[in-house]
Structure 1
Amino acid sequence: MRTLQEMTLQEKLGQRLAAGFQGLEPPKEFLRLIKEYKVGNIILFRRNIQDGPQLKKLCATLRKVVEEETGVTPFITIDQEGGVVTRLPESEVNIPGAMAVAATGNPRNAYDMGLLTAQELRSYGVDFDLAPVMDINCNPDNPVIGVRSYGDTPERVAEYGSQMVRGLLDGGVYCSLKHFPGHGDTAVDSHLGLPCIDRSFDELMQRELKPFIAGIEAGAPAVMTTHILFPQIEPEHIPATMSRRIMTGLLREKLGFGGI
C-alpha cells in the first residue's frame, strides 16, 4: 500500500476521482483511463450488473487493475439506497425504500436494512454504499427525492437515517450522507437544472442540517454534496458542491465533519 508521501501529483489527483463505464466488463478505454490518469476509485451502475456472481467477478477484476496501477486499494461504490434507487438486479436482495422503512414505525428496521445491504454488498466486493438519503421530504413538487426520504420532519429523517448509517458501518461498508446541505425543498431535479433554496444559516440548522448532524454523530465517513444554490450562505451564485463557504465553512468548520 502506497502512502501519500510516495505519490506523484498525478497519483494524488487520481485518488480523488471515481469513474464508471458502460457494459458488464471494463472496456479497453476505461482500463487505459486508470493506467494513464491513475484513477483510484470506481462507481458501478445497473448497466454494469447482471447478477451476483458476475458482480463479484467484476469487482475482483477492477480491484486488481486499480491496485496494480496505483498501489492503493480502490473504493468500489454503488447507489444502493433501496426502493426506487437500487443497482442490484431482482435476482439479488433489494431492501424497501426509505419512506417504506420509516412507515413501519420502528427505527430498528432501518438499522437492519443497512446491515443486510452491507453484508450483501461486501459479499460481492462492493465496499462503499452511496446512501442513506438524509433529505427531508418537505416539498410535494420535488421530482427527485419523494419516497427516497425517510419522512417530512427533520427528526424522523435524523432518527431513521442515522440507524441506516450504523447498520451499513456494522456490516463493514462505507456510507455517504446525501445530499448536503439538503435537496428536499426544491421543485427542480439538480441533474437537469440548478435549484435554489433561499434559507438562512439559522433556518438550515433548524431543518435541513439536523439529519446530517445526526448522521455525522452516528459515524458516517462521507458526505455527498448537492448542486443547489443557497444564496444566503453562498452569495457568489455557485452551487453548494463548488462553494468553499458551504463545503469548508459550514460542513467542516461549523459542523466539525472530518471525513470524505
Structure 2
Amino acid sequence: MAHPRAAIIGLAGHHLSTDEVAMLRQWRPFGVILFARNIANPEQLRSLTTAIRTELGAEVPILVDQEGGRVARLRPPHWPEFPPAARFEAGAEAAACANATLLGLECRDLGLDVVCAPVLDLRLPGAHGIIGDRSFSADPDEVARLGGAWIRGLQEAGTIPVIKHIPGHGRAAVDSHLELPRVTATARELEADLAPFTALAASGAWAMTAHILYTAWDEQRPATLSPLVIEQVIRGAIGFDGPLVSDDLAMHALRGEPGGLARESLDAGCDLVLHCTGVLSESVAVLRGSGPLSDRAEGRLARARQHSLPGRVMVHDRTALARQRDDVLRNLA
C-alpha cells in the first residue's frame, strides 16, 4: 500500500461529510485531529472516530489537544474536568502520572490515541499568557520531572504523547496564534528552555514545533520552517529523533498558502505537518503540498507507537488513581 500523505488535518463538524469522505479516500492523510467543533457527546464521538478509521484504517492516529485546564476538548458534563499542569508543581510524580493515565484512558475509550500533551515550555515571568498554567514550572528540572511522569501516564493508558512546543515557547512575548513571536535570548540563555526536551528526548513521545523565530539560531525563519533549528537544535543539541510534527500551519505566526507552508515545513525537517481549520479547500491544499510520508518518518512513528501499544495498557483502578491525584493536589492547595 502506498504511503499516506505526511499531513494531519482537521474536520468540519460532528460527522464526516460526503466531501470529506471523498477527500480522505483520494488523499489519505496520515492522521486526523479533532476539536470542540467535532465533539458533542461520547456516542457521537465514538461514531466519528469509527468512521474515520473505516476510511483510513484501524491504526490511523486520531489526535486531540487534551492537556487539562484551559486546553481541553473533552469537558463536563460528559467528561471529567482535569487540572492544568501548573497545579502539580512541587507535587509527587505519581500524582502527575495518575492524572495523565486517567486523561489518556478517557481519550482511548473514545478512539483518540494521540494526546497533544504535555507542554514542556517554561513558565517564565514577563512572557505572554498563552502558555501560563499550561506549563509545569519555570524550573527546567521540575518541568522534566513532571513532564516525564505525564508521558509515562499517557503511555500506560495506551495513548501516544506529543511534547510541545519544541525547542521552547516559554519566552514568547506574543501569542503565536495571532503573530510571529521573536525571541532574542542568547544561545546560552536558551539552554534552560532546551533542558526539559533534552531530558525527555528518548521518551517515545512525538514532538510539536514552536512557531517562533529565535534570532540566536536563525534570524530569518521560525523553528517550524527552519532547517537550521530542526537539524542543529532539535535533532542535534536536544537529540530528539522521534516523530516531529509542525504546530498548526493555519496559525497567524506563519505567512503563506497552506500547500506551500506544508512543503516548506517538511523540507525543513518536520516528519508531519498539522493543519487544523477543517476547511476542505485548505485541507486539500495541505495534502497536495505535503507529499507522501517518508520512510524515515515511518520508522520514527513505528518506534513511538511501540511505547504506547494498546496491548501494553495496564489494568487500572480509575477511582484509586483519582484519589491518589486528588490527595496530593489538596496538600498543594
TM-score (normalised: structure 1):
0.88
Answering whether residue 176 of structure 2 is matched by residue 183 of structure 1, we say no
Alpha-carbon distance, 1:254 to partner: 2.8
Partner of 1:227: 211
Partner of 2:264: none
Amino acid at match of 2:242: G
Return the match for 1:242 from 225, 238, 254: 225
Partner of 1:164: 150
Return the match for 1:110 from 58, 71, 96: 96
Cα distance between partner residues in 1 of 2:198 and 2:39:
34
Q: How does 1:70-89 map to 2 (within 5 A)?
A: 73-89=59-75
Partner of 2:24: 34
Return the match for 1:154 from 136, 140, 157: 140
User: What is the DSSP-based 3-state SS (H/G/I as helix, E as strand, rest coil) of the residue aligned with 1:94?
Assistant: coil
Partner of 1:92: 79
Alpha-carbon distance, 1:214 to partner: 2.2
Alpha-carbon distance, 1:112 to partner: 0.8
Superimposed CA distance per residue, residues 118-167 of structure 1 (whole angstroms, 9 cap, x where no aligned partner): 11111111110011000111033413101111112212211111110111
Amino acid at match of 2:223: A
Amino acid at match of 2:15: E
Task: Kindly indicate whether the alpha-carbon contact (under 8 Å) linking 1:133 and 1:161 is maintained by their aligned counterparts in 2.
Answer: yes
Partner of 2:248: none
Larger strand share, 1 or 2: 2
Task: Kindly indicate whether the alpha-carbon contact (under 8 Å) linking 2:49 and 2:110 is maintained by their aligned counterparts in 1.
Answer: yes
Cα distance between partner residues in 1 of 2:232 and 2:145:
25
Task: Kindly indicate whether the alpha-carbon contact (under 8 Å) linking 1:114 and 1:165 is maintained by their aligned counterparts in 2.
Answer: yes
Alpha-carbon distance, 1:102 to partner: 2.2
Cα distance between partner residues in 2 of 1:56 and 1:95:
21
Cα distance between partner residues in 2 of 1:220 and 1:118:
15
Task: Kindly indicate whether the alpha-carbon contact (under 8 Å) linking 2:167 and 2:233 is maintained by their aligned counterparts in 1.
Answer: no
Cα distance between partner residues in 1 of 2:106 and 2:199:
25
Unaligned ranges ≥5, structure 1: none
Task: Kindly indicate whether the alpha-carbon contact (under 8 Å) linking 2:120 and 2:135 is maintained by their aligned counterparts in 1.
Answer: yes
Return the match for 1:129 from 115, 126, 130: 115
Partner of 1:251: 234
Task: Kindly indicate whether the alpha-carbon contact (under 8 Å) linking 1:49 and 1:89 is maintained by their aligned counterparts in 2.
Answer: no
The structure with higher relative contact order (CA 8 Å, sep 6+) is 2
Superimposed CA distance per residue, residues 168-216 of structure 1 (whole angstroms, 9 cap, x where no aligned partner): 11111001110111111122000110111123333222x1011111222
Alpha-carbon distance, 1:244 to partner: 0.9
Partner of 1:216: 201
TM-score (normalised: structure 2):
0.69
User: How many residues matched?
Assistant: 242
Alpha-carbon distance, 1:48 to partner: 0.6
Return the match for 1:45 from 26, 35, 47: 35
Amino acid at match of 1:246: V
Cα distance between partner residues in 1 of 2:236 and 2:138:
27
Cα distance between partner residues in 2 of 1:141 and 1:223:
22
Task: Kindly indicate whether the alpha-carbon contact (under 8 Å) linking 1:18 and 1:42 is maintained by their aligned counterparts in 2.
Answer: yes
Task: Kindly indicate whether the alpha-carbon contact (under 8 Å) linking 2:86 and 2:136 is maintained by their aligned counterparts in 1.
Answer: yes
79-88 or 208-217: which moved more? 208-217
Amino acid at match of 1:24: H
Partner of 2:48: 58
Measured on the aligned residues, the alpha-carbon RMSD in Å equals 1.6
User: What is the DSSP-based 3-state SS (H/G/I as helix, E as strand, rest coil) of the residue aligned with 1:40?
Assistant: strand
Identity of aligned residues (%): 33
Amino acid at match of 2:66: Q
